[in-house]
Structure 1
Amino acid sequence: MIECWRWYGEYDLISLSEIAQTGARGIVSALHNIPYGEVWPNDQIQARNDQFKSAGFHWAVVESLPVHERIKRGDGDLSTLFSNYRQSIVNLADHGVKTICYNFMPLLDWTRTDLTAPVLGGGTCLRFDAVKMAAFEIHMLARKNAEADYDESVVIAAKHWFDRSSQSDQDELLDAIMAGMPGAFDRYDVAGLNDALAQYQGIDRNVLRQNYKRFLDEVVPTAAENGVKLCVHPDDPPRDILGLPRIVSTAEDLEWIMKAHDNPANGVTLCSGSLGANPQNNIPKIAANVADRIHFAHLRNVRSEPNGSFEEAPHLDGDTDMIALIKVLLDEQSRRREMGRSDYQIPFRPDHGHHILSDADREYIPGYPLVGRLRGLAELRGVMRALSHV
């Protein structure tokens, strides 16, 4: 498999020279300065590509080419947005960048309630606490009928947390949730978030699926014509959030997506952590079911709790059998190689990581420290080497 590392360009405090020391040679990145919905220009793609090549890397995967919120909502005349997305695909392909990760999560890219939850042995991790999320939705956001989305015990505990919380506690919770907003600039206060959520009124699971199918029908043919592999990222977490529907959360969802536009260019980013946050998801089995459409993999682990909470676990621990999952991916690579495909290798990256050791002395994008991800990459690399010699 192709060892990769996610890099946030000018917004990342980790340098390419530091990444080179991890052993990864593929970069997963994007043009984070381009506003959503605009064409990614050739000159900026070329400049970023040249930057990677001069540092000894290749641009293995775009993560992400964002889908505009209006497309997700099916809002108004979308012809320009679809045209711009198709042109960006073409421009990337012209520069040899032919794997594109994206998501179709309404409003939030990912959701956590704690960015520095303590872990056993020292260090911190990302955490989703169902009680805090319920407190946010029910008491801070005052979302109508939010109680119905949580077990009664969680609702009771959420009221207790809120009653005891200080303004600082509530501000910290809002900041953690807003860290999952896409892009570099958009963040909301409670009133602004309510306004943004109001734009999704009337959009349920079925409507969102219809809008997603329209997106696939508009862009997959262009990807296929240009040899580009599109790969949707699963919902994180795999459950409805803030009253917004999620449609990339289960094995059934992935099966629907593959059939919605049945073309090899319409594929999956197999994120073991996002899917793994639902205890009902058997990740190795899901991977086997969609193996021929896995164009990219995020390998991380989570440890779930009965009330719906979960936190990031070490890469080889947690709820997902990572060794079994990697075997599925390696078997799929072998199948592709035997078919004679030159692009048989699956790019992957160690996703997230604990903030450990010298990570504590630096600022990082939440979940993307240097040492914690290096530990994960080394562990995953060891598993792959061992399985390759069996």
Structure 2
Amino acid sequence: MKKIRVFLIFILLICSSSIFTKEISCTTITVTPGQSIQNAINSASPGDVIFLSSGIFTENFTINKRVSIVGSGDSTILRRSTNNPVIRVTSSGVSGAPILLKSLRIEPEGRYGIEIPNGQSVSYLSLENVKVVGGNLSYTENEIGFKVATDASLFYLSIMNCSFEYCDMGWYFAKHGDWLGGSIVQYVTVENTSISNNDYKGIYVEKLSDATFKNCKVYNNGIKDNWNQSWNGGFDINLKGMAYQNLVFENLDVTGNGLGYKEGAGIMIKARDDGPTYGAYPASLSNVQIIGGIFRNNERGIRFGEPNQNNLGPTGVLIKDSKIFDNMKKYNGNDGSIYGGVVNHTRAIVDARYNWWGHISGPYHPSLNPWASGNAVSDRVEFRPWYVKLNETTLPVEGIIKIINVGRAKRSVGEIIQETNSSKL
């Protein structure tokens, strides 16, 4: 009875929001296993709610108008009937009344869970309490939780309380790298979402701008061999062919990604401007903020730029109030690039002041902090001052911050360690 009451309240809220978008009313269409979701969509009017009862629905369907697809949680399971994506989205919502997927479990089994197909430009799509769960097998990058095709664009995407797990990749946003401009994914909000246990990468995106990830878990991605296994990891943001901006990562938990793989990392952020293709059609990225969160026990913690390519950016990178530790080499070869908690392969400076590096002595750097025992940093990473307590997240509001030359003065818990000489190369 309680679930029914909550659902009715939810329907009233959706219908009320439709009033403000000039919809006179909305209808709820109930679909049970064995009935067709596509038929329900085809018969619905914009703004209607299609309620899927508990059970298994084996069907591929396309959302071609502004509707809400609402299930009963984990007990509403969507599986494909043909070798195509379970759900394709080809229509748009509007501000305040998006296309909504809510309280569903999607099992793509070797294909895409949700796809924005080629040639589409979709706006205002929301996912709430949606789980996309792959199987035990690997499908060579064919089992994707959420795919945006090469020539498709997506604007105003909201993902709340969702998970993308056990796929080849949780997300794949594809883009051509051999011409300027083209498709884009822009204005994205992701909160309280898990992107974990995916075979190769948690997310791999070649187009993304004006996006915020908040309170997300990124666990144990990049755990299986494949043709491109050197780059296994958590988030691989590999931007191509245009100018991007404003990526914010707030209070993420990034743990156990890319372990044992040559170039593995928890977070990889690149704006490609290297080589004959990317050099001719360069991408740029400005304003990257990593605020708070934990980055631990990854092959590398956070890496900027493509190794050995000397990229111009991203620029305007800030890492602050984060806990970065125990990101250590597990790969058994000796041909990988630089290891550490924060690694910068670009020509820009990364501002990584005011973070905890796993030890009171701060991050190790062979020349700038050679006595330290904390997680290492590369050149062009500004790391002084740093926090010397694990749970330190704010500056003292009273007293004087002590300036200490590392290796010359006694350190005490609670102080912020800072040197007077430069901390960047």
TM bracket (short chain): under 0.3
Give 1 or 2: higher strand fraction. 2
Query: TM-score normalized by structure 1?
Result: 0.27
Which gives a bigger RCO, structure 1 or 2 (Cα 8 Å, sep 6+)? Answer: 1
TM-score between both structures, scaled by the size of structure 2: 0.26
* Structure number having the greater helix percentage: 1
